[in-house]
Amino acid sequence: MTPYADRNVWSAPRAAAAVLAAPFRDVLLVTADATAAAALDDAAPQRWRRLGTPAARAAADLAASRLDRGARVHDPLAVAALLDPGLLTTLRAAVRVECTDPTTYGATRFAAEVDEERGRVAVAVAADRARYLELLTATLGRQMH
């Protein structure tokens, strides 16, 4: 990684650039800022263990092991946003990935846009942590059949 590049983009900047340049509709980019806003609280693992489901116990163990590092869970937030788009605060933007300058290779560049054609990407800049934790807790508490 570099100071300029997010881990996911840094690992495959040309692929990220291709996806962001493609004519897809409704692209959602969940940023590290959004996942930082939705970091797990210290009570989450205990709350999930009390649910008693295998999924809740596994999630509690994983979460407990991450609490000392800020307990940011990036991928679950992106999936949760598909179930409840209101979890995220987003801005429309034109987004590109730097693939030419070696000093900033992999950096993600944002330009806020009002124009839907140019600002096709919804960039998550914040998240509702309480709502996210409620959704995670409810989901982990369901018994699988």
Domain assignment of residue 60, yes or no: no
Q: State the pLDDT confidence band at 117, using cuts at 50, 70 and 90.
A: low
Q: Give yes or no for a contact between 93 and 121, defined as CB atoms under 8 angstroms apart.
A: yes
pLDDT tens string 10-23: 889 999 999 998 88
Domain assignment of residue 22, yes or no: yes
Measured CA distances, 135 to 80, 103, 104 (Å): 8, 40, 37
* Residue range(s) defining the domain that contains residue 89: 7-40+74-140
pLDDT given at position 137:
94
Q: Give yes or no for a contact between 113 and 94, defined as CB atoms under 8 angstroms apart.
A: yes
Domain assignment of residue 127, yes or no: yes
Domain assignment of residue 64, yes or no: no
Domain assignment of residue 54, yes or no: no
Total number of domains in the chain: 1
pLDDT given at position 114:
62
Q: Give yes or no for a contact between 45 and 136, defined as CB atoms under 8 angstroms apart.
A: no
pLDDT tens string 59-110: 999 888 877 666 777 788 999 999 999 999 999 888 999 999 988 999 999 8
Domain assignment of residue 65, yes or no: no
Domain assignment of residue 45, yes or no: no
Domain assignment of residue 51, yes or no: no
